[in-house]
Amino acid sequence: MANASEFLWYIPNQVEGGHRGDASDANSWSLATLSQHAEALEQHGWDGALIGTGWGRPDTFTVAAALTARTTTFEPLIAIRPGYWRPANFASAAATLDELSGGRVRINIVSGQDNLAAYGDSEGDQAHRYARTKEFMRLVRRLWTQEDVTFDGAHFQVKGSTVVPRITRRGARLHPRLYFGGASEAAERVAATDADVQLFWGEPLDGVGDRIARLKRLSRDLDRDLPSLEFGLRITTLVRDTTEQAWADAEAKVDAMAAQHGQLDQHRRSPAVGQQRLLDLHTRGEVLDDNLYTAPGRYGGGGAGTTWLVGSAADVANSLRKYRELGITHFVLSDTPYLSEIRRQGDQLLPLLRDAPAALAEHRHAPERVA
């Protein structure tokens, strides 16, 4: 691949523990606990971690700033919402943290549903939401790369704005990367022109391949004026020492989810196009491709927890390499318990993925799951 792959994890900044089966700890979001996760990521080969956002959580940007101060190489992928931040305030905050951390900031722009009324936002319909997101991304990038910026948009306006401190150019990196998700037509048009990295949920290979091809066409048709769009995968990876143990543990987890939640009403439609695509996958089969497990979505799995890649480290590495062959270069992985899986997957999975392509050839024919 032209671009080296990058591997990030997920740090749950939740007031209450127990997220997706994680250990339930009264101190789950203390600085000591969260720092343990970030420090373990550094020690076990990860580039950084996604830190999610939403009203009712500890503030994501504050958590990210605290963790960069406690680490040396950890790169936070900070999820933020355009309606929660004004572009100039955000551009200044991110530039400040980027300088203080030596260029370690990554940003994930989120346009999905949230408790808007709680913080006084009104995002309107889908067309309004994505038009505003596009404007936000375009203006933030200008504020990071230009001085004395004047912008008079439908959603945001600034006059003579110069963000201080200025972001230091680091090789080809002009500013923090802007990651973006969304599967609707409106979302894909924004990604094609204004994102640096498009993140996909854990869809089968054919679906991801089709979306990459479509986004590349859109980038050409819409006259993208940025470097080529890059692609990422956000997915749960359940890794065990053997294929058989991984599937036994995966099925036990799903059984526990079913006992707790019961089967979801499949007629209840999700407002998010990408989430609904995942929920519908179980109609194609319980296991797709080699080891993409769709059953979690039937019993309460959401987002990255809707589908899981299941198997030994070799099994999961083979599957992730197939996504890489499609053009995926950014991987955001996770499983619970988060802290112990940082160590397990960092030690067992990442070495297989960071090696040269030939190093995985011997793992190509990993044992298939026995029905």
Answer yes or no: is pLDDT of 124 > 90. no
For residue 205, give the nearest of 302, 320, 285 by alpha carbon. 320
Work out the average pLDDT over 155-182: 96
Residue 3's pLDDT band (cuts 50, 70, 90): low
Q: Point out the least confidently predicted range of 2-6, 32-36, 219-223, 263-267.
A: 263-267
The reported pLDDT for the residue numbered 284 is 85
What mean pLDDT, rounded, does the chain reach?
Answer: 89
The pLDDT tens digits of the residues spanning 313-353 come to: 999 999 999 999 999 999 999 999 999 999 999 999 999 99
The reported pLDDT for the residue numbered 267 is 38
The C-alpha atoms of residue 7 and residue 47 are separated, in whole angstroms, by 6
The C-alpha atoms of residue 224 and residue 216 are separated, in whole angstroms, by 10
Percent of the chain's residues with pLDDT above 90: 72
Determine the Cα angle at 125 with ends 132 and 119, to 5°: 70
Alpha-helix residue ranges (DSSP H) falling in the chain:
31-43, 60-69, 87-100, 126-145, 185-194, 205-221, 243-261, 273-279, 313-326, 338-348, 350-354
CB atoms within 10 A of CB 108: 24
Q: Helix 87-100 crosses helix 126-145 at what angle (to 10 degrees)?
A: 50
Work out the average pLDDT over 191-198: 98
The reported pLDDT for the residue numbered 14 is 81
Rg over alpha carbons for the chain, rounded to the nearest Å, is 20
The reported pLDDT for the residue numbered 126 is 86
The C-alpha atoms of residue 48 and residue 216 are separated, in whole angstroms, by 27
Here the tokens at position 94 are 């991110």
One DSSP character per residue, 44-89 reads: TT--EEEE---TTS--HHHHHHHHHHT-SS-EEEEEE-TTTS-HHH
The reported pLDDT for the residue numbered 361 is 41
More confident residue, 305 or 231: 231
Its pTM stands at 0.91
Residue 78's pLDDT band (cuts 50, 70, 90): very high
Residue 355's pLDDT band (cuts 50, 70, 90): low
The C-alpha atoms of residue 207 and residue 189 are separated, in whole angstroms, by 18
